[in-house]
């Protein structure tokens, strides 16, 4: 697979990473652990070198899964994880509040190192900006971890442009992770210009719109009772029906390119900037292979122009998150 560098850093990763959250949490009943270990190792065999997890996924179990699965590939893969949440009550697996106090970051990194079975975390993101802790203090805490050799690179998730600048002034930010796809383009307004100016890489999560842009979901689709999408406004039946226009656009381009809608959605992201590395998640081998093939799909200037013209005529319906989660983003 092609490689990309995240901004001006020396952190080189596969052009497409793998989001691991759904292997332990959020979208459906938890898949079989051994099957997920096999899937993670199959990804490495197919050229994926960039894996994304977080302490809150599970919580803890996703880091443990990734750590076990990728243990044989130390030195060949880059693992990113995240800090910044705290259990609602100590000892319980309920996470409801942010905590990016430096002392909590120090505590979190020790747990993540152990679960991931590594001596240093390749890329350590603040999961969400904590309004109670100055971002300079957060960046300073990670700077200390880098000096200690426990972390190699610093990242932010869902941070606003000014926050990124302030953090970068204390400890260079290697990558910012935020939602970005044809059905959520908010980063284009402020975040992407800041990243380009500062030489910071961008890692879009949910690049397939939580599965919607694959064309496999419509207004009649039902989700498991544990699936996160049940509480996402954009996924209510009326909005799913209205948003099919965006899938139709991808399907038209896909027919022209002998590809799938999901591959076109990923190829569009890859064509935006050479320092963008999407991290689609999956729990199925055939979907993993489909996503990887998107790196070979070439969109011409005319293709990209057609997508832009058609997308400009489509208004996506529904919020991407429930209000309480949306309030934690872009600040």
For the chain, domain boundaries: 3-212+272-297
User: What confidence score (pLDDT) does residue 29 get?
Assistant: 82
User: What confidence score (pLDDT) does residue 25 get?
Assistant: 84
Per-residue pLDDT of the chain (331 residues; tens, 9 = 90+): 999 999 899 999 999 999 999 999 877 788 999 999 999 999 999 999 999 999 999 889 999 999 999 999 999 999 999 999 986 655 555 556 899 999 999 999 999 999 999 999 999 999 999 999 999 999 999 999 999 999 999 999 999 999 999 999 999 999 999 999 999 999 999 999 999 999 999 999 999 999 999 999 999 999 988 888 999 999 999 999 999 999 999 999 999 999 999 999 999 999 999 999 999 999 999 999 999 999 999 999 999 999 999 999 999 999 998 888 888 888 9
As a dihedral over the C-alpha atoms of residue 136, residue 142, residue 147, residue 153, rounded to 10 degrees, the angle is -110
User: What confidence score (pLDDT) does residue 293 get?
Assistant: 97
User: What confidence score (pLDDT) does residue 21 get?
Assistant: 95
Nearest Cα to Cα of residue 85 among 312, 306, 325? 325
In Å, how far are 83, 84, 230 from 129, measured between CA atoms?
10, 8, 25
Query: How many whole angstroms separate alpha carbon 108 and alpha carbon 106?
Result: 5
CATH code that applies to domain 3-212+272-297: 3.20.20.100
Query: How many whole angstroms separate alpha carbon 169 and alpha carbon 248?
Result: 43
User: What confidence score (pLDDT) does residue 71 get?
Assistant: 98
In Å, how far are 63, 87, 113 from 108, measured between CA atoms?
12, 12, 9
Residue from 57, 124, 125, 184 carrying the catalytic annotation: 57
Please answer whether residues 217 and 227 qualify as being in contact, where contact means their C-beta atoms are separated by less than 8 angstroms: no
Provide the pairing of β-strand 12-14 with 3-5: antiparallel
Query: How many whole angstroms separate alpha carbon 266 and alpha carbon 25?
Result: 23
User: What confidence score (pLDDT) does residue 323 get?
Assistant: 86
250 burial type by CB count under 10 A (0-12 exposed, 13-18 middle, 19+ buried): buried
Query: How many whole angstroms separate alpha carbon 102 and alpha carbon 110?
Result: 13
User: What confidence score (pLDDT) does residue 58 get?
Assistant: 87
For residue 300, the tally of other CB atoms under 10 A from its CB is 10
User: What confidence score (pLDDT) does residue 92 get?
Assistant: 54
User: What confidence score (pLDDT) does residue 94 get?
Assistant: 56
Enclosing H/E stretch for 251: helix 244-257
Question: b or e along 10-49 (b: 16 or more beta carbons within 10 Å of the residue's beta carbon)?
Answer: ebebbbbbbbbbbbbbbbeebbeeeebbebbeebbebebb
125 is catalytic: no
């Amino acid at each position: 697979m092609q490689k990309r560098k995240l901004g001006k850093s020396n952190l080189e990763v596969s052009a497409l990473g793998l989001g691991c959250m759904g292997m332990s949490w959020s979208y459906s009943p938890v898949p079989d652990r051994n099957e997920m270990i096999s899937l993670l190792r199959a990804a490495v065999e197919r050229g994926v070198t960039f894996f994304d997890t977080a302490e809150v996924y599970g919580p803890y179990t996703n880091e443990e899964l990734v750590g076990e699965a990728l243990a044989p590939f130390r030195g060949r893969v880059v693992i990113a994880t995240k800090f910044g949440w705290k259990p609602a009550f100590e000892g319980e697996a309920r996470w409801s509040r942010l905590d990016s106090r430096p002392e909590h970051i120090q505590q979190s990194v020790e747990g993540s190192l152990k679960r991931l079975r590594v001596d240093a975390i390749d890329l350590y993101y603040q999961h969400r900006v904590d309004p109670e802790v100055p971002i300079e203090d957060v960046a300073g805490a990670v700077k200390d971890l880098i000096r200690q050799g426990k972390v190699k690179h610093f990242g932010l998730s869902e941070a606003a442009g000014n926050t990124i600048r302030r953090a970068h002034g204390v400890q260079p930010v290697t990558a910012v992770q935020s939602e970005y796809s044809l059905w959520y383009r908010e980063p284009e307004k402020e975040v992407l210009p800041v990243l380009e100016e500062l030489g910071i890489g961008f890692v879009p999560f949910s690049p397939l719109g939580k599965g919607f842009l694959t064309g496999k979901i419509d207004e009649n689709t039902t989700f498991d009772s544990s699936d996160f999408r049940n509480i996402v406004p954009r996924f209510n039946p009326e909005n799913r029906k209205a948003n099919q226009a965006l899938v139709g656009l991808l399907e038209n381009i896909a027919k022209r390119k002998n590809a799938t809608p999901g591959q076109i959605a990923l190829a569009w992201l890859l064509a935006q900037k050479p320092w963008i590395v999407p991290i689609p998640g999956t729990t199925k081998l055939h979907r993993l292979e489909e996503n990887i093939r998107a790196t070979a799909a070439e969109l011409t200037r005319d293709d990209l122009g057609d997508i832009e013209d058609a997308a400009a005529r489509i208004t996506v319906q529904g919020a991407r998150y429930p209000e309480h989660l949306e309030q934690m983003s872009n600040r």
